[in-house]
């Protein structure tokens, strides 16, 4: 079974899939280099929507850089994620229309408290994806993604190349603080919005 088919199977069965090695070491290093080269352009991430949107370091402390779909430097990884979107639509009929994504950098010591990715009163974010870009990450560095499932909490280390996907409306999760900067590409496959083509 291909990696994409494994992700689709696990999403169908558990609503959650963790795939180590989605990117190889070279692809991971290349994307991490893009993050570092653009690091000064990252902006503090906010919480809440519209008028309620604000930076709140007590809730989340990451810096993000939103990506355009025609950004040349990230085309290879966006193409892989588009192939995953097609596979999920083909096998699970999720009706995913597009991926919105950003690069994220958590400075050492920062975190993102327990939350759900779907904004209240909105169901356009269907599947969350997190792709880690950290070379040489070990348990002592911390920075786990803690996902709260019916069977209890599941911790995932942000090891470079690992792809985590889960249904956005189903799992509360949090990012634990780390002892070093923690990089990822994080995004959401969105459903087609009414009236938007």
Q: Which residues bind ligand OGA (CB under 6 A)?
A: 104, 112, 117, 130, 145, 173, 175, 184, 186
Confirm or reject binding of residue 62 to Mn ion (CB under 5 A): no
DSSP per-residue string spanning 1-50: --HHHHHHHHHHHHSEEEETTSS-HHHHHHHHHHHHHTGGG-EE--BSSG
Minimum CB distance to ligand OGA, residue 90 (Å): 26
Pick 85 or 144: Cβ nearer ligand OGA? 144
Minimum CB distance to ligand OGA, residue 56 (Å): 14
Minimum CB distance to ligand OGA, residue 176 (Å): 9
Which residues, 6+ apart, have CB-to-CB distance to 15 below 8 Å? 166, 167, 170, 171
Confirm or reject binding of residue 117 to Mn ion (CB under 5 A): yes
Please give the Cα distance from 88 to 9 (Å, whole number).
9
Place of tokens 């097609």: 86
Edge-first strand listing for the sheet containing 163-167: 16-19, 163-167, 125-132, 182-191, 96-106, 63-66, 43-44
Minimum CB distance to Mn ion, residue 45 (Å): 10
Query: From the list ligand OGA, Mn ion, none, which binds 124 (C-beta under 5 to 8 Å, kind-based)?
Result: none
Pick 5 or 139: Cβ nearer ligand OGA? 139
Please give the Cα distance from 92 to 163 (Å, whole number).
19
Pick 82 or 148: Cβ nearer ligand OGA? 148
Pick 63 or 117: Cβ nearer Mn ion? 117
Please give the Cα distance from 19 to 16 (Å, whole number).
10
Pick 36 or 115: Cβ nearer ligand OGA? 115
Instruction: Please give the residue ranges that form the binding site for Mn ion (CB under 5 A).
Output: 117
């Amino acid at each position: 079974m291909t990696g994409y088919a494994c992700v689709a199977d696990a999403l169908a069965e558990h609503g959650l899939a963790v795939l180590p090695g989605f990117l190889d070491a070279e692809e991971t290093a290349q994307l991490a280099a893009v993050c570092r080269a653009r690091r000064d352009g990252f902006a503090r991430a906010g919480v809440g929507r519209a008028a309620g949107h604000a930076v709140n370091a007590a809730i989340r402390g990451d810096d993000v850089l939103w990506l355009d779909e025609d950004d040349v430097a990230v085309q290879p990884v966006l193409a892989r994620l588009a192939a995953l979107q097609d596979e999920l639509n083909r096998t699970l009929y999720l009706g995913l229309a597009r991926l919105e994504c950003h690069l994220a950098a958590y400075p050492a010591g920062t975190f993102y408290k327990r939350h759900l990715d779907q904004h209240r009163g909105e169901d356009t974010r269907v599947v969350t994806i997190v792709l880690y870009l950290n070379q040489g990450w070990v348990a002592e560095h911390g920075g786990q993604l803690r996902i709260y499932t019916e069977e209890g909490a599941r911790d995932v280390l942000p090891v470079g190349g690992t792809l985590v996907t889960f249904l956005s409306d189903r799992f509360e999760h949090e990012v634990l603080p780390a002892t070093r900067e923690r990089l990822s590409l994080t995004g959401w496959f969105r459903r087609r919005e009414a009236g938007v083509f």
